[in-house]
Amino acid sequence: MAYSFNHIHLKSPDPAKTADWYVKTFNFNVISDTDNFFGRGDKFIRCETEDGIVVNISGPQPGELLDKGDSSAHYGLEHFGIQVDDINSEISRLQSMGVKVLSDLVDLGSNIVIAFIEAPDNVRIELLEFKT
């Protein structure tokens, strides 16, 4: 059987606000936006990164109680990574937008530098630069 990556799904108390943050911050495109996804009653926004990765953002379904997110390191899905061309200028840009930087730059060797930021709803994102 062949497998391929399909999507990332984020839950948010305000999917429209969260989707707008990803559009403004990382140039996501909104593919679809519905208020009653498959009749389940939840707001569901389907976005896509510039390189075609689908990121779904939805609110809770009626009656669904969700715990608060946690942008610290933890078990389960801990973060997702976004590759950038210049991590220093990207961090400066993000900080000017009020984005919280969670870590200093870390040089992993092999010409890879990373840092972590906090996105809406306490989502942890790793920024990566592959130096040449």
Q: What is the pLDDT of residues 87-129, one digit of tens each?
A: 999 999 999 999 999 999 999 988 999 999 999 999 999 999 9
Is 64 within a domain? no
For the chain, how many structural domains are there in total?
Answer: 2
Characterize the bridge pairing of strands 7-11 and 29-34.
Answer: unpaired
Range list of H helices, the chain:
15-26, 87-96
pLDDT per position as a tens digit, 20-78? 999 999 999 999 998 877 677 788 999 999 999 999 999 988 888 888 888 998 888 88
Can you give the CATH number for the domain in which 48 is found? Answer: 3.10.180.10
Q: Do 50 and 88 belong together in one domain?
A: no
b/e per residue, 1-35, with b = 16+ CB within 10 A? eeeeeeeeebbbeebeebbbbbeebbebeeeeeee
With a pLDDT cut of 90, the percent of the chain lying above it is 69
Is 101 within a domain? yes
Q: Do 48 and 87 belong together in one domain?
A: no
Q: What are phi and psi of 58, to 5 degrees?
A: -135, 160
Is 12 within a domain? yes
> 102 lies in which domain range?
80-130
Chain centroid to Cα 7, Å, comes to 11
End-to-end CA distance of the chain: 36
Virtual CA dihedral for 91, 92, 97, 101, nearest 10 degrees?
A: 40
**pTM score, two decimals?**
0.86
Chain centroid to Cα 57, Å, comes to 9
Is 68 within a domain? no
Q: Do 85 and 46 belong together in one domain?
A: no
